[in-house]
A and B are shown apart, each in its own frame.
Chain A
Amino acid sequence: MKKKIAPILSLAFMIVLSSCGNSGNTGAVTEKAIASPAQNAAQEPAAYDPKRGEGKFDETNVKLEAPDAARAGQGKAIAQTKCFSCHKTTTEKLVGPGWKGVTERRAPHWILNFITNPDPMIDKDPQVQAQLELCLVRMPNQNLSEDEARSILEFMRQNDGAK
């Protein structure tokens, strides 16, 4: 579009310039636009590990310990505010898949990565993409803190009967 009209416009301006003697100060164009975060984040390495997911968690910083009922209770309370609108604790799908068995299907650090950093994983993880084809709603980023995410993981373990 821009290219097509450029010759016509430049011709037009040449006529204007020559007839009116407008000096048309051009002035150096300095930096007038700033990069948006989306643009900054555009270049990511293609390597994606579907076992680990993407985020700050991996095998080295997530170690499961004995079930912690108090922490699971906190996780349930957070989930009631932020998760249970879309997830049931059974296998039944609501907006998103049911939680039953999730800690058996997924590594703990994968779960933590996914619930704290869903968007890049929805874009890259083949199994999540398959899930998206069923649910058709991208899981929202609910801005969970690291601590909240760990509590929810503890509740998921309790829900799966971890011993």
Chain B
Amino acid sequence: MFTKINKPSLLILSLVLLSAASCKPKSAGNAVSKDAASKVYVPPGKYDEFYNFVSGGFSGQLSVYGLPSGRLLRVIPVFSVDPEKGWGYSEETKPMLNTSHGFVPWDDLHHVEMSMTDGQADGKWVFVNGNNTPRLARVDLKTFRTAEIIELPNSAGNHSSPFGTENSEYIVAGTRFSVPEDGEAGDVPISTYKENFKGHISFVSVNKETGDMNIAFQLKTPGVNFDLARSGKGKSNGWFFFSCYNSEQANTLLEVNASKRDKDFIMAVNWKKAEEYIKAGKGKKQAVKYAHNKYDEQTHTATSEIKTEVTVLDVTEFPDIVYFIPCPKSPHGCDVDPTGEYIVGSGKLAALLPVFSYDKIQKAIAEKNFEPEKYSGLPVIKYEAALYGEVQKPGLGPLHTEFDANGNAYTSFFVSSEVVKWNIKDLKVLDRQPTYYSVGHLMIPGGNTKKPFGKYLVAYNKITKDRYLPTGPELSQSAQLYDISGDKMELILDFPTIGEPHYAQAVPASLLLPKQLKIFDINANRHPYAAKGEAETKVIRRGNQIHVYITAVRSHFAPDNIEGVQLGDEVYFHVTNLEQDWDVPHGFGVKGAANGELLIMPGETLTLKWIPDRTGMFPIYCTDFCSALHQEMSGYVRVSPKGSNVPLSFSLGDKPKKAEPAVQ
């Protein structure tokens, strides 16, 4: 592929020659048929058919792409500060990134789960997880903004989340790293892993109307590593299935020591039963510390509350909640088919794909068809008793499975870099297509629901080399779109993503279009520092704090000249965008501010804190193009020495105004 290329025609020729000569499925770019472009082409002025919500991995953000075009529509800031939108820089959004560790400006966002009604996406919210400092977030699909973030106690490496029940009664979050419980109890030798390290699974309830999240309870489980999960659906509603690795309970050189056993487990949880025990008061209250952050759309302000208690149910004390099912080997994905009957466990080090049956699991439990030896005190169902069947020789390194509307499953194979289509009933492989390269998650619109839409499949790849123009050692992250409407899958598009994409979900655009909020109603703005009109603008001093109530409208700020700020002052610019027109945000930047910008939506108020570090003249300006006179949308702030006799004053046009008398 590193042929010296001088002209585009040579590139095409070389590709053709390469393809023709090798016919290897992995030569880059030959698996595309000639009508691929027309299948992904969305003409100017037309919208895509699906919204695709894609995890932004270590960027900490959630990205939104249109399908089939692969156009990037938006990056929604969630767990990481985002200078483009001022997320985590404005005083109003800083509380969203608060944790029990204080302000944490980054996380590692892995998985995406739509809110559900009757096992189908309802388009209200999308939930995502922060892997590193364990958190769950809820993004409002009316505003495409993060509305709530809740930290998870007793957890570390919040990987096995967020996965929801079929009416989003709960979003669960399983810890990837088992750890001793929070607090002083954590100060134990690492070598005591087997005694002291426990897994915790948080059941976070979701208010059906408001979306408000609450940690309803946690299950304390044996110390394994939880990887992924799926709730049952339909007949298996009421159950949850978690893949777990490191059943060896090793704590060093895991690549060897956590891969010793031939089989690890799928952990089946009867969550309805657990819920009953919690309602009957069987859970134990435990003192912990975690942050719960909410964004209020009316005050345009987030609040962060530190909570100090969680209810924990130790599953070893309640023998009818948890059952282990052996699963070869180091299971990663754990996926339930649309009927709720079949549970696919993907052993990432296994060369076959086991499919478990919900009915057989129930039968095995009823007949106590268990292994003679328990695992950490909990029953282990016999492999054959739970197994529906195995897909033989499907590929190497199965990771994730999604489903279409026609009874077929699609599994990603990391090691052999391919997507394999197989039939759920007869377990026969129907088709396989290469990916470029090392596919991780895959996604079919509705592919995790009771009613998949099918039509497209997106592969989210771990390696991108040679797919796009080189950009130094680091290449763009990569997704690939396949048309799955025919018998054979067909690669129709590569598109770059922000990295690293893990799971994603997609919903029809028509589900979200009618809900979109275009402006914040200025009359409903209840921000305590809002200025609803230029008549309400002012500058006040409160001790060493200067509060500037400033408005933005095409094409000026009011006021645009401020004097009387002194060194040692903290200046708070409370900027209200007076526009009531769709797509007219204003930006706000201050020279030398050790902070970001503000990006203020129509009708919204946001606050930038600035502590001047020197005397002189500091321009302020609008950062987001707003009109032909956008460049003129600017002003000056004069900073004088401490104790200066320059009075605090502000003006717009030729009407200077004295500041109100100092308060307090």
Contact = CB atoms under 8 A, between A and B. Distances in A.
A10 B510 CA distance: 35
A38 B554 CA distance: 23
A38 B532 CA distance: 31
B485 interface: yes
Nearest to A14: B34
B554 A82 contact: no
Interface stretch (A15-23, A101-109, A155-163): A15-23
A140 B628 CA distance: 13
Interface stretch (B135-143, B412-420, B574-582): B574-582
A35 B47 contact: yes
A82 B45 contact: no
Nearest to B38: A29
B108 to A, nearest CB: 33
Contact of A137 (B12, B16, B555): B555
Interface string B13-55: 0011001100100000011111101110011011111000000
Interface in B512-563: 519, 521-523, 532-536, 551, 553-556, 558
A38 B46 CA distance: 9
B471 interface: no
Interface stretch (B109-117, B190-198, B486-494, B588-596): B486-494
Nearest to B555: A137
A33 B47 CA distance: 6
B45 A38 contact: yes
Given A16-B20, A19-B20, A82-B580, A26 B33 contact: yes
Interface in A1-40: 2, 8-13, 15-17, 19-20, 22-36, 38-39
B629 interface: yes
Interface string B248-288: 00000000000000000000000000000000000000000
A143 interface: yes
Nearest to B23: A20
A33 B580 contact: no
Contacts of A80: 532-536
A140 B519 CA distance: 13
Given A30-B485, A38-B45, A138-B627, A85 B34 contact: no
A39 B46 contact: yes
Interface residues of A, number: 46
A95 interface: yes
Contact of A39 (B45, B488, B554): B45
Contact of B578 (A13, A25, A82, A138): A82
A142 interface: yes
A148 B534 CA distance: 18
B47 A34 contact: yes
A8 B34 contact: no
B68 interface: yes
Contacts of A138: 627
A81 interface: yes
A124 B107 CA distance: 50
B584 interface: yes
Contacts of B34: 9-10, 13, 24
B664 interface: no
Given A15-B19, A25-B33, A142 B487 contact: no
Contact of B488 (A20, A23, A30, A33): A23
A32 B510 CA distance: 12
A130 interface: no
A32 B578 CA distance: 38
Contacts, number: 137
Nearest to A30: B485
Interface in B456-496: 483, 485-488, 490
Contacts of B628: 136-137
A141 interface: yes
Interface in A82-133: 82, 84-86, 94-95
Nearest to A10: B34
Nearest to B488: A25
B523 A81 contact: yes
Contact of A142 (B46, B509, B579, B653): B579
Nearest to B537: A85
B9 interface: yes
Contacts of A95: 553-556, 629
Contact of A19 (B23, B31, B556, B558): B23
A140 B554 contact: yes
B524 to A, nearest CB: 12
Contacts of B33: 13, 17, 22, 24-26
A143 B582 CA distance: 9
Nearest to A42: B45
B530 to A, nearest CB: 10
Interface centre among A2, A28, A141 (most CB of B within 10 A): A141
Contacts of B486: 25-27
Interface in B279-305: none
Given A30-B485, A80-B533, A86 B15 contact: no
Nearest to A96: B554
A24 B19 CA distance: 15
A123 B483 CA distance: 42
A33 B12 contact: no
A89 B558 CA distance: 18
Contacts of A42: 45
B260 to A, nearest CB: 43
Interface centre among A23, A27, A80, A144 (most CB of B within 10 A): A27
A31 B519 CA distance: 31
B533 A82 contact: yes
Interface in B156-213: none
Contacts of B555: 95, 137
Given A30-B485, A33-B48, A136 B551 contact: no
Contact of B629 (A32, A34, A137, A141): A137
Given A26-B33, A29-B38, A140-B580, 19 more contacts: A15-B19, A16-B19, A17-B33, A19-B20, A23-B488, A33-B47, A34-B48, A39-B46, A82-B533, A82-B580, A84-B535, A85-B556, A85-B578, A86-B554, A94-B653, A140-B554, A141-B580, A142-B580, A143-B581
19 contacts: A2-B37, A13-B33, A16-B30, A19-B20, A19-B23, A20-B19, A22-B31, A25-B488, A27-B490, A30-B455, A33-B43, A33-B49, A34-B47, A80-B536, A95-B553, A137-B628, A141-B580, A142-B580, A144-B580
Interface of B: 9, 12, 15-16, 19-20, 23, 30-35, 37-39, 42-43, 45-49, 68, 455, 483, 485-488, 490, 509-510, 519, 521-523, 532-536, 551, 553-556, 558, 578-582, 584, 627-629, 653
Shortest 5 CB-CB distances between A and B: which pairs?
Answer: A24-B33, A27-B486, A80-B533, A85-B553, A81-B533
